Structure 1
Amino acid sequence: MLNSLRVSWCLFPLLLVAAVANAREERSFRPVTVSHAEVRLDVHGKPIDCHDGCLEYFAGRYYLYGTRYGETDGFTPANRYVVYSSPDLERWELHGDLLADTPEGVYYRPYVKHNPTTGKYVLWYNWYPVLWEGQYGVATSDTPQGPFKIHNDNVRMAQPRPGDHGLFADDDGTAYLIYTSIELGHSISIEKLTPDWLSSTEENSGVFASGCEAASMFKRGDRYYALFGPNCCFCPEGSGARVFVANNPLGPYQEIGDINRDETGRVTIPAQQTHIARLPGSKGDQYLWMGDLWGSRADGVKGHDLQHWSEPLVFSPDGSIAKLKRSGSVEVEVVTNRTD
């Protein structure tokens, strides 16, 4: 009897893995059309005011994190972080302010990931007690919709006076921040975070580009990608999206192109990059390029500026990414069941 129990217990992890795999296999998908030619509305018919943030898929639901600008010019302490969620990328529900008890300052770019080790949802954000003396804050929540509680509002980083950033979590549970240093000419580098993702190890890739903003990072297969464009603060003309690749999250990185410029060097989509969303699909993960169409509002309200979501990015065997296409809408697959 004891031996049989031991065998059963040894098999338990394998059975658990099989159950998880089967649950994933049972996922079903359907296509939805995402429009970026008109203001998106929430379930109450109000415009979605959610910019320069990210789109994530957590526990069977899609979450859109961003900055709410309202009727301001975007450079005031009135900025607030908000989160919307949706079961299908079509019906969006506002959950309200994301971050509680914030010191007065100007806030931009909230990014959220789930730490599988601690079980916490972790928010990294950049804010300015005085423009443009930037610093990073980190906050946590037990749920993806928050509210998030501030853990540290001035995280020590290897590079001085940080600006724009993006949060990336690797398959092994290690997290990294790709970010700019305003003091070093808006230079780009990548930095490894501590296992709880609440501070930096200050292990840094070193600068590999400058004069840049709106950085994002993701992984596909065994390649790491870093994308960003030139400085373009709220610019209506949009910005390019330079693509760098590496075999290690801290590099070295090699530039392989720009997916938001045509063959003449002209910007294709007049948007500034905010995120590369990694979402489940029927044939594997889908990667969506997201950018804010600054100055696109028809009513003059900054908070009503549109946001462009690309069709799923197309990758070549050599790792390069096909250039973005300008269109009024795209088709994306969404999960239709809740097995995960």
Structure 2
Amino acid sequence: MNVKRYFSLLSLFCVFICCSQEKETAKKTASKDKSILLADPTIFYENGVYYLYGTTTGDFPNGEGFQVYTSSDLKKWNGPSGAQNGLALKKGDAFGTKGFWAPQIFKFNGKYQIIYTADENIAIASSDSPIGPFKSDSKAPMFNLGKQIDPFVFVDEDGKKYLYHVRLTNGNRIFVAELKEDLSGIKEETLKECISGVLPWVNTQNVSWPVTEGPTVLKHNGLYYMIYSANDFRNPDYAVGYATAKSPYGPWKKAAESSIISRKDVGINGVGHGDVFYDKDGKMKYVLHTHLSNSGVSPRKAGIIDIDFEGNKIKANAKSFVLLQE
């Protein structure tokens, strides 16, 4: 064997060893990644326990519905912890055959309520526990006015309840309507459009169907704030912004600084569609989802970032961003 051939074989052997080590390292890294695979997440807090719900985006052996995870510190999550094989709501117990998306949890008349999307309609179910089982005898959507998704219930200081949601009409557009007192539907005469995709940051791909979705509404110092997401969720530029109004119906003025949470802030693509919650110390946070990685969209991962009011603006602390782990 000549010296040149010897060194060639030696180089090939080294390359083989390095590649094998890289593959083994990648396997170990993947096995250690216990990120919670939920999109459109929301967190409900009660009696020292955080309950995490969302649109399931990973493997789902338990049928369709909504999983729930629990935590006492927002760091270590247990689950799925739902009453029915990990599910808080199971297909067949309430309206819907497919497309169980974007839940919100709140209490009404002593029961826990889950309002959600299924079959591109909005429905509601109730339970005696945050982990379910959530059920509804109706098996029907709340109202029939075309396709609508992403419900969010806001209760104002005067007790009036409003349903913010997305209607699929020449784009994903955010609407509001006052809810009937018993939550059985909306007062259709109050239906009004709030937000559509007209600013540059909400349509970075210049598509004919602009997307604004995932509304969360809250009130601070007499001003209404709507936090929402924009761009198609598959777009790396999916991001979070907000608008303000002096009335639950608007008119809504979009923040001049465009998005407040984006891939430029947290370093991962597709950040958005979440919900505001307050931790046990009263600190304001926003739970959201991200793409699986900067090279793949699904399954999406859940994460949390600190947000707060600065005067009449909402600011996010990019350094606080963390992905949620089992």
TM-score by length of 2: 0.70
Q: What is aligned with 1:293?
A: 290
Find the residue that maps to 1:98 and give its secondary structure. strand
Residue aligning to 1:178: 164
Report the alpha carbon displacement of residue 108 of structure 1 after superposing the two structures with TM.
Answer: 1.0
Partners of 1:314 and 1:156 in 2: CA distance? 35
Candidates 117, 122, 127, aligned match of 2:113: 122
Segments of structure 2 that go 5 or more residues without pairing to the other structure are 1-28, 197-209
Q: Secondary structure at the match of 1:196?
A: coil
Q: Counterpart of 2:74?
A: 89
SS state at 1:88 partner: coil
| Residue pair 1:259, 1:322 contacting (<8 A) in 2 also | no
Distance 1:189 1:151, change over 3 A: farther
Alignment match, 2:143: 156
Question: C-alpha separation between the residues in 2 aligned to 1:123 and 1:261?
Answer: 26
Cα RMSD (Å): 3.3
**Where does 1:164-313 land on structure 2 (aligned, <5 Å)?**
164-202=150-188, 204=190, 206-210=192-196, 211=210, 212-235=212-235, 237-257=236-256, 258-260=258-260, 267-269=264-266, 270-280=269-279, 282=281, 285-296=282-293, 302-303=298-299, 305-311=300-306, 313=307
Give the counterpart letter for 1:156 in structure 2.
F
Which ranges in structure 1 are unaligned for 5 or more consecutive residues?
Answer: 1-37, 129-133, 331-340
Query: Aligned pair in 2 of structure 1 residues 141, 171: CA closer, same or farther (>3 Å)?
Result: farther
What displacement does 1:136 show? Answer: 0.9
Q: Where has structure 1 moved over 4 Å in runs of 4 or more? A: none
- In 2 relative to 1, CA 172–120 (structure 1 residues): closer, same or farther, beyond 3 Å? farther
In the TM superposition, what is the alpha-carbon distance from 1:60 to its structure 2 partner?
2.9
Structure 2 residue aligned with 1:70: 58
Alignment partner of 1:314 is 2:304:
no
Structure 1 residues 160 and 287, CA gap change in structure 2 (3 angstroms) = farther
* CA–CA distance in structure 2, aligned partners of residues 302 and 256 of structure 1: 30
Residue 137 of structure 1 corresponds to 123
- Residues 1:205 and 1:59: Cα distance change in structure 2 (over 3 Å): farther
Identify if the C-alpha distance between structure 1 residues 185 and 328 changes in structure 2 by more than 3 Å, giving closer, same or farther: closer
Matched to 2:113, the amino acid is: V
Deviations 1:287-335 (A, max 9, x none): 212221123299x8944x3323112x23222x111255256549xxxxx
SS at match of 1:322: strand
Instruction: Give 3-state SS (helix, strand or coil) of 1:189's partner.
Output: strand
1:182–1:90 Cα change, 3 Å: same
2:195–2:252: 8 Å Cα contact kept in structure 1? Answer: no
Query: Would the alpha carbon gap of residues 314 and 187 (structure 1) be closer, same or farther in structure 2, given more than 3 Å must change?
Result: same
Measure, in 2, the Cα distance between the counterparts of 1:196 and 1:286. 31
Counterparts of 2:53 and 2:259, CA distance in 1: 24
Inter-CA distance 100–174: structure 2 relative to 1 (3 Å threshold): farther
Identity of aligned residues (%): 24
Task: Give the corresponding residue for 2:133.
Answer: 147
State how many pairs are aligned: 268
